[in-house]
Chains A and B, each alone.
Chain A
């Protein structure tokens, strides 16, 4: 780091100072995190409230320091201070402000700083706000979170420091990859990292449970808000990423089973399993070891994701900031953290008290099947992602594992989960009435089969799997309504009673219903869009048109449209249906001189739940010497549902999170409640 040299350069000295403050605060946060660990551990050994408080204070201070560092880096990006190597490599003075700010987390170094910000942030919230926790357990949580902080902050300070200065600052920066200059992608990393790193708190709670030998209903209740928050953020993050791929890459795909996507999907799957198994532990005290295992697993997969994405061990369409040397360091961090966690698990988990008994046909039983399928699905994704590496290492043969593999393995597994899903909430705890639950679901089953058959009959060509998937989606959605109807005794009680029950439904129940319905909505959209989208492409001269599905797409004009940091050809495209105007779309083909890159800016015509998706291609020689442009048009039926569904799921998570029972004061009551022997329901 060449700090001194920088100070000599003219009137920007004060600006350089801010960057130096950022670098200083980053180092300070590392020291504070170490103090957080030390103080909390001493506190735990001596059972001293003074040390507990000191450890918590250090956690708060560490977060404050990372926040200052983050703000300093953002300042460097906003003011285009190219003496900072990271800014010079990822920003440009002509870049729009949103992308100057988003550029902070657009690189390896900056994104690790964001990771640390989330890590210390979650630690600080637990340390300073979770007041219902017993001191001893809380101190272990704070110590564990601090240890993770030390690992990742040390990595950021020593191997991935975003504040490294350049001896000779360039006049202009190399700018952010234009594909990343997009609103969906600007907000994608904060959500994604909130989710990834949110699971670190769950991890720390699992460590605390193992150290204290306590996994009970109260513990599950403490963990629940964190896993819900992390899960919801991750859901939004993944959805934004998928939406970005959908309209920025320009061929209408939204999920490629790409290693980077899989890396974000595995923590999500494990997090989903955790949410469900934690319910069993919370309500029935059962499956304590398994729940702790998943709690460790979610963040382990987050770290694995960080390693896979950054190390370049796997080829990916959107691996970014790849650096094999740093990959080894990340793998080491993963090994230390996960090794400690699972080592502790192997040592302490056998001593955990076994939970309550239950029959296979029961709410617990359905949730066990959910966990079984989600675990198998996670293993499938992991295997599909790593198998090429494993096979190449063992046999020297390289092979590919792509979408067709996941369609044949992951999809049927999910089908099984979907089949069981609506039944679960209708079963009672401990011992359920399976036949009774199925009887109450006959309407849902009828509607689902009818929809699947109708789709098969109407849509040519026929795709059986897609129709089955749509049927399952409907089964979930109608199943949710059946479940709510059951809860409020619709048709069995007086209207006044039904209203009272409806008003009395806890937010957690609404959250679950929203999430399950969202999954159904997603299944509907994903199956229909994938099977029955239509594409057309042709080189069009002005006023020529192509037909895609029921739509006529005419290229009316092509104009120059230049932005702050790009020049573009903008097509003025008129979309009509049966002669009636639908929309005027403006797809663009942009050239970013700073990156010497061309990107396509897709135009979407929102037609109800369908998209007419338009891409402007390169200029070609047309007929009769007229210039022509390659225009691609897609009709993506029900495409809106693919992104609405997951957002509904995340909303469900947020609604559950707002449930009064999960507020910070609640755990104390829960803790007392367990102490009293509660008769079984």
Chain B
């Protein structure tokens, strides 16, 4: 996917610069961009390592599992057909909690495990089950309590208050999640796409 987008961007820019007569600016940009990218990566490296380290402590000390316990009653409402003591339900809560804490790398393996469990319940069908739709949609709505990566980026570009956007991110994510879940559950009721 990105292969096409990237080549299209590069080719289109070069054609466009010739048409608009911006070739001089373009050549300067080519040289500057590499340096700018490296500069950015170095600024990010410190804060990124710091937060990954802190979040690792959260994971190992059971903080993530604690958050999972808090959210499990809510998730029970969304997945009424799953056994709340079962492994699949556990994977789902861990996946959602890790996402909430911004631990993308921890969330993904739990998510894949949850999908395997749901697949078993679905009898290995090639059509997604109601639970799968809800689970995947929740993962695409990106609920995050602490957008550390975003804060890091804002900080490295000289923001005066890198985390001021947090409340806005919560409101916006919550609205997105509400729309996603309403559509997912609503259409599940009408058995959309089911034979």
A binds B: no
State the A residues within 8 Å of B (CB): none
State the B residues within 8 Å of A (CB): none
